[in-house]
Amino acid sequence: MRRLRSALGAVVAGCTVVGALALAGCSSGDGGASGQGSGTGGGDRTLVVFAAASLTDTFTTIAHRFEQDHAGVTVKLSFAGSSDLVAQLQEGAPADVFASADEPNMTKLTDAGLAAGDPVPFATNVLTIVTPPDDPAGITSFQDLAKPDAKVVVCAPQVPCGNATKEVEAATGVTIKPVSEESQVTDVLAKVTSGEADAGLVYVTDAQGALAKDSSSLKQIEFPEASKAVNTYPIVAVKDSEHAELASEFVAAVTSAAGQKVLKDAGFGAP
């Protein structure tokens, strides 16, 4: 995206948050944050952050730090596929910050006039193959995902991880015939770890996160063709946010040295 900037003027002195609520998808009402901010005025302000599902662990950490550093602030995190989140924003869903897993979905937001300023790239990610620990289909390469008897799960084409899958297929000439296409990358991972699928394509960060929690939960198979589709993650404050200054500070927290370390530790690449 040509309008992306690699630097953000605002500087945040720290980034902390206690009690951030990670939600599966956009929510309102009963699913809201409970106001467990630091200081005596917890819940005085609620910052709503829409973020790609692959950012669940890292943004929860960054949000925890941000909230601790901003007395009276509760960060309400809503995670889903980037395309779903953009659609919700276009339909009027209230949010203060949007972080996409790719640039095309961010372009939809900016083209709709819903971004407050230029989006800032903050991370990159690539795909990897995951299988159950016993690898029932004998997957050792990207080409093996085209085996007729392999039950493969991928992301839907409109989702960033699905679009990346299509790009790798086009670059390699390999055609995968998945048994299902999921609306977010975490659903692909769940079907593999539960044994419902023989293999799936997820981001490196999702695989590393799952293995960090349980090293026996799956098998990861890296493949060189993944470099054919590198997703850049941009973030922006949403136009007409009720907490514009706070939204800008959250963006700055993500792009700060501390935020970048959280992302790097999780396996994300530099923007």
Q: Do both 197 and 246 map to the same domain?
A: no
Per-residue pLDDT at 69 exceeds 70:
yes
Residues 212, 214: Cα–Cα separation, whole Å: 6
Lowest mean pLDDT among 4-18, 139-153, 187-201: 4-18
The tokens 């799952």 sit on which residue? 210
- 141 and 112 share one domain: no
Residues 136, 96, single domain; the answer is no
Give mean pLDDT, residues 216-241.
97
Task: Output the pLDDT for position 6.
Answer: 38
* CATH (domain of 166): 3.40.190.10
Residue 257 belongs to what domain range? 21-124+233-265
Domain total for the chain? 2
- Of 13, 2, 23, 57, nearest in space to 262 by CA: 57
Q: What is the pLDDT of residues 209-226, one digit of tens each?
A: 999 999 999 999 999 999
Query: Would you call 164 helix, strand, or coil by DSSP?
Result: helix
pLDDT in tens, 89-136: 999 999 999 999 999 999 999 999 999 999 999 999 999 999 999 999
Task: Report if residue 114 sits inside a domain.
Answer: yes
- Average pLDDT of the chain is 87
The verdict on 78 and 89 lying in the same domain is yes
Please name the residue that has the structure tokens 């296409």: 181
- Whole-number pLDDT of residue 19: 35
Q: Give the burial string for 122-156 (b: 16+ CB within 10 Å, else e).
A: bbebbbbbbbbeebebebeebebbbbeebbbbbbb
In the structure, what pLDDT confidence band is assigned to residue 13 with cuts at 50, 70 and 90? very low
Q: Residue 218 falls within a domain, yes or no?
A: yes
In order, the DSSP letters of 187-204 are: HHHHHHHTTS-SEEEEEH
Average pLDDT of the residues in 47-76: 97
Assess if residue 9 is contained within a domain.
no
- 139 CB-near residues (< 8 Å, 6+ apart): 129, 131, 145, 147, 150, 198, 199, 221
Opening angle at CA 259, ends 16 and 35, nearest 5: 30
